[in-house]
Amino acid sequence: MRIEDSTESKSRILQAASRLFSEKGYDATRVHEIADAAGVNKALIYYYFQNKEDILDSLVDALMDGVHGISLDFVQNCVQVMVQEGRLTISGERFVFTDQDAVRYFKLKLNRYYADIIDYALENRRVVRIVLLEALKGGKHRGNLFKTMELLDSGPENPLHGVRGAADQEGNYRKDLVFFEFFFLIIPLVSMAALYDQYREKSLLSDERLRELVLSAYGDLAEAIGLRHIAVAGQGV
């Protein structure tokens, strides 16, 4: 099998699985149904994946890798650069900027980051829906949703841990902040992505308009939360 054919076949399998898992549920989907939807024989699925669970793990891992990559890019190219330039100091949950220009620059970059994350979540909303359904069902895959907490925690399992540590010398990232961001930033985003298609169908809104609403609503939410953590040196919050 040629490399390009191999890659295409595996991609079709993952796409078919994400659609079926999202529509029928993980438990109700059979491997032969994935094979039929992907246009491949069942044996080829077992060539790439050990079992159905391995397919789900591959989908979730790919989703998280993308989120990690977008987040790492923002931290390295915005947060860390501003710290190195002396325009930002991080102490625990506090982002202290040198002046209002630094705040405006940071918010501009932060809004771009949110837009990238939202677009990525919407592009992969089938997998996001699977993750949410499994969490609500309380099955053995319920922990996949909580993998997103790795981006918020201060432990070494966080792919951003080394970068954050270089910015926050005190290492005082609080657990209550992790709780707050998980339930008021991550869960709303997951819900919006998971229910996006159903809401679009009911509302009759175009993709473009609905995306604008998602960006606006999430931006307002993130802005309100961010005000708790932003300060300018020598001034109040």
Residue 213 resides in a domain: yes
Do 97 and 182 meet the contact criterion of CB atoms below 8 Å apart? no
Over residues 146-160, mean pLDDT: 65
Residue 118 resides in a domain: yes
Q: Same domain for 167 and 149?
A: yes
Least confident of 31-35, 117-121, 132-136, 229-233: 229-233
pLDDT at site 227: 65
Q: Same domain for 80 and 26?
A: no
In 3D space, the residue among 110, 19, 116, 109 whose CA is nearest the CA of residue 67 turns out to be 116
Q: Dihedral sign, CA of 6, 12, 15, 20?
A: negative
Least confident of 9-18, 61-70, 152-161: 152-161
Q: Same domain for 37 and 123?
A: no
Least confident of 19-23, 83-87, 113-117, 152-156: 152-156
> Distance between CA 104 and CA 22 in Å, rounded?
39
Q: Same domain for 89 and 28?
A: no
pLDDT at site 63: 95
Q: Same domain for 189 and 223?
A: yes
Residue 135 resides in a domain: yes
pLDDT at site 3: 44
Residue 12 resides in a domain: yes
Q: Same domain for 119 and 162?
A: yes
Number of domains in the chain: 2
Residue 227 resides in a domain: yes
Domain range for 7 is 1-49
Over residues 196-210, mean pLDDT: 94
> Distance between CA 16 and CA 193 in Å, rounded?
19
Contacts 24+ apart (CB under 8 A), 60-65: 60/127, 60/130, 60/131, 60/144, 60/147, 62/14, 62/127, 63/124, 63/127, 63/128, 63/131, 64/147, 64/148, 64/150
pLDDT at site 97: 94
Residue 77 resides in a domain: yes
**CATH code for position 40:** 1.10.10.60
Q: Same domain for 148 and 38?
A: no
**Which tops the pLDDT comparison, 66 or 229?**
66
Q: Same domain for 71 and 102?
A: yes
Residue 237 resides in a domain: no
Length of the chain, please?
Answer: 237
pTM of the model: 0.85
Residue 24 resides in a domain: yes
* 173-191 tens-digit pLDDT: 566 677 778 888 899 999 9
**Which tops the pLDDT comparison, 2 or 73?**
73
Q: Over 70: is that where the pLDDT of 145 sits?
A: yes
Do 93 and 177 meet the contact criterion of CB atoms below 8 Å apart? yes
pLDDT at site 232: 85
pLDDT at site 9: 93
Q: Same domain for 129 and 37?
A: no
Q: Same domain for 192 and 138?
A: yes
Region of residue 30 (left: phi > 0; alpha: psi -120 to 50; beta: else): beta
Q: Same domain for 90 and 19?
A: no
All residues at 6 or more sequence positions from 229 whose CB lies less than 8 Å from its CB, including other chains: 93, 94, 95, 177
Q: Same domain for 121 and 212?
A: yes
